[in-house]
């Protein structure tokens, strides 16, 4: 069969060939899926990569088979669809499909050049039964598939700028609410019920990880999060190691080194995030159920270095004095702390997926706090390890990383297993999208949040201008792109101005 297709491909007749890159679909389809639709006027045949002998590149006149989307078109070197010598193979394809589709799952639809084509079913990594997903745009964009409009969600989309949030929280304490699954679900759904968003993100906080380590954190109105006892030296870290090992029921002897204690904590990192953080997983399950398939649910964590900065400084900082002192003065202790945090974050994220999260984001909010050299040593290896661990368990789950104020991080982050690189507002959207997609990655972002202080009509104008500069005249919806802010919503943003932003994003290319 492969030889027949190759011969036909080189002869130059009239069928576009689409290659299935999804292992689920390939495993369920016997030989060739149906000639079911048309792309640019040509009949379309689908061939599972698993059963194909087609090369990824061929001789002169035969183009490469792209592999950056679920279904990819084989084209000639000139860019036109490759032609088949005859359509004699089509009846055989149709028979194979009738047999193969009996075992296959229903497939969703995505738009390619304005024509709907079949897309692979999205993977599910949970045993919990949830309502079927009705809006898959964000997930499919993360996978590099075509969508009918740009998907958008916004960091801190459930927050103090919303009057319904302020009313709900008026008599409640923040971290207490985070531990109540039904209250978390209600807050998470507030922006979904108000706006035409394409994703939700669980209402929680990155500092639940230090809380799971026994650190007391309070949220003070004018300061933000404040830790009772920061970890600023080896003695305090060793004290935490001993306490955590004791809570795990593991024996600590005077002869044990700090490195040996750390190895035990890493080996038991899954127990450090459950049952202590089961309330987060319960909230994810409750929220996804209440979402009723409206949009996908994103889980998240803080990046290890960002968490360590909070734990070391004891609160937000402008100078990062204590962090620099520990990282540069006692890097061994800093790396031990970061290693434990990394394994806790990875298990925490994987538990969120099992509870129902359909995508994940790691927030490195303090990525730009110190020098590029510090980030490369104390953040990048740990961000990479989180992606490695999560993707080993859930290979097709969409993952996003956000390294704020760290433009120098883009190249190395593109070498990790994250699918989407989120951009802050300082970066050029079009240039970054072109560069990242050339490396097989997508981008998210990156409107400056201060634009939302403009009148709605100006927001519409600025968004349209930004998208046109990045992606052209709108004749084609960009792939591997998720719209967002370059950072989160501010408490004094006007909710109606966010609506103008969302509508302007959705209007592009329509």
Assign 3-class secondary structure to 315-336: CCCCCCHHHHHHHHHCHHHHHH
Picking from 422, 348, 424, 423, the residue whose alpha carbon sits closest to that of residue 386 is: 348
Entry field: residues in the chain: 510
pLDDT of res. 222: 83
Is the CB of residue 463 less than 8 Å from the CB of residue 498? no
- Measured distance CA(160)–CA(165) in Å, rounded: 6
Percent of the chain scoring above 70 in pLDDT: 77
In three-state secondary structure terms, 403 is strand
| CATH of region 141-507 | 3.20.20.210
Q: Measured at the alpha carbon of residue 298, what is the angle toward residues 313 and 196, in degrees to the nearest 5?
A: 120
Question: What is the token pair recorded at 58?
Answer: 């061929």
Model confidence at 269, in pLDDT bands (50, 70, 90)?
Answer: very high
- Measured distance CA(472)–CA(456) in Å, rounded: 23
Residue-wise pLDDT tens digits, 18-51: 333 333 333 333 333 333 333 333 333 333 333 3
Predicted model pTM:
0.78
Instruction: Compare 1 and 391 and report the one with higher pLDDT.
Output: 391
Q: How far is CA 419 from CA 20, 402, 442, in A?
A: 19, 11, 6
Picking from 342, 348, 344, 336, the residue whose alpha carbon sits closest to that of residue 262 is: 336
Question: Any idea which residue has 């075992």 for tokens?
Answer: 103
Residue-wise pLDDT tens digits, 53-82: 333 333 333 333 333 333 333 333 333 433
Question: What is the token pair recorded at 300?
Answer: 């998240």
Q: How far is CA 310 from CA 169, 384, 445, in A?
A: 24, 20, 25
Model confidence at 15, in pLDDT bands (50, 70, 90)?
Answer: very low
- Measured distance CA(416)–CA(409) in Å, rounded: 11
């Amino acid at each position: 069969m492969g030889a027949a297709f190759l011969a036909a491909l080189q002869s130059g007749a009239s069928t576009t060939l689409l290659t299935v890159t999804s292992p689920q679909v390939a495993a369920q389809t016997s030989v060739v899926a149906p000639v079911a639709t048309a792309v640019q006027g040509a009949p379309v045949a689908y061939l599972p990569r698993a059963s194909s002998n087609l090369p990824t590149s061929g001789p002169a006149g035969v183009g490469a088979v792209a592999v950056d989307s679920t279904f990819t078109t084989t084209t000639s070197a000139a860019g036109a669809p490759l032609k088949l010598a005859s359509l004699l193979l089509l009846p055989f394809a149709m028979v194979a499909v009738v047999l193969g589709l009996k075992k296959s799952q229903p497939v969703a639809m995505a738009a390619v050049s304005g024509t709907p084509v079949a897309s692979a079913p999205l993977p599910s990594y949970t045993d919990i039964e949830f309502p079927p997903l009705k809006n898959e745009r964000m997930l499919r964009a993360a996978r590099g598939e075509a969508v009918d409009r740009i998907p958008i969600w916004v960091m801190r989309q459930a927050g103090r700028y919303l009057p319904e949030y302020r009313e709900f929280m008026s008599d409640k304490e923040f971290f207490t609410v985070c531990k109540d699954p039904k209250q978390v679900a209600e807050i998470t759904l507030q922006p979904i019920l108000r706006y035409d968003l394409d994703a939700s993100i669980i209402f929680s906080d990155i500092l639940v990880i230090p809380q799971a380590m026994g650190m007391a954190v309070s949220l003070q109105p004018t300061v933000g999060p404040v830790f009772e006892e920061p970890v600023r030296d080896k003695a305090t870290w060793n004290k935490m190691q001993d306490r955590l090992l004791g809570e795990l029921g593991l024996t600590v002897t005077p002869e044990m080194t700090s490195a040996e204690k750390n190895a035990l904590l890493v080996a038991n990192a899954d127990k450090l995030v459950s049952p202590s953080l089961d309330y987060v997983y319960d909230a994810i399950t409750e929220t996804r159920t209440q979402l009723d398939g409206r949009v996908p649910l994103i889980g998240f964590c803080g990046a290890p270095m960002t968490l360590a900065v909070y734990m070391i400084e004891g609160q937000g900082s402008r100078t990062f004095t204590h962090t620099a002192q520990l990282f540069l003065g006692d890097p061994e202790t800093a790396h031990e702390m970061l290693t434990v945090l990394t394994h806790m974050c990875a298990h925490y994220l994987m538990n969120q997926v099992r509870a129902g999260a359909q995508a994940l984001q790691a927030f490195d909010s303090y990525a730009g706090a110190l020098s590029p050299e510090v980030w490369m040593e104390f953040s990048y290896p740990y961000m990479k390890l989180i992606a490695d661990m999560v993707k080993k368990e859930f290979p097709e789950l969409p993952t996003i990383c956000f390294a704020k104020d760290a433009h120098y991080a883009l190249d190395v982050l593109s070498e990790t297993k994250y699918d989407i690189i989120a951009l802050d507002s300082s970066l050029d959207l079009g240039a970054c999208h072109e560069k990242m997609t050339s490396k097989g990655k997508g981008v998210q972002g990156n409107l400056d949040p201060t634009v939302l202080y403009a009148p709605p009509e100006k927001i519409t104008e600025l968004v349209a201008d930004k998208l046109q500069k990045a992606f052209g005249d709108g004749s084609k919806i960009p792939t591997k792109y998720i719209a967002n802010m370059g950072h989160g919503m501010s408490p004094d943003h006007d909710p109606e101005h966010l609506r103008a932003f969302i509508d302007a994003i959705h209007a592009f290319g329509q």
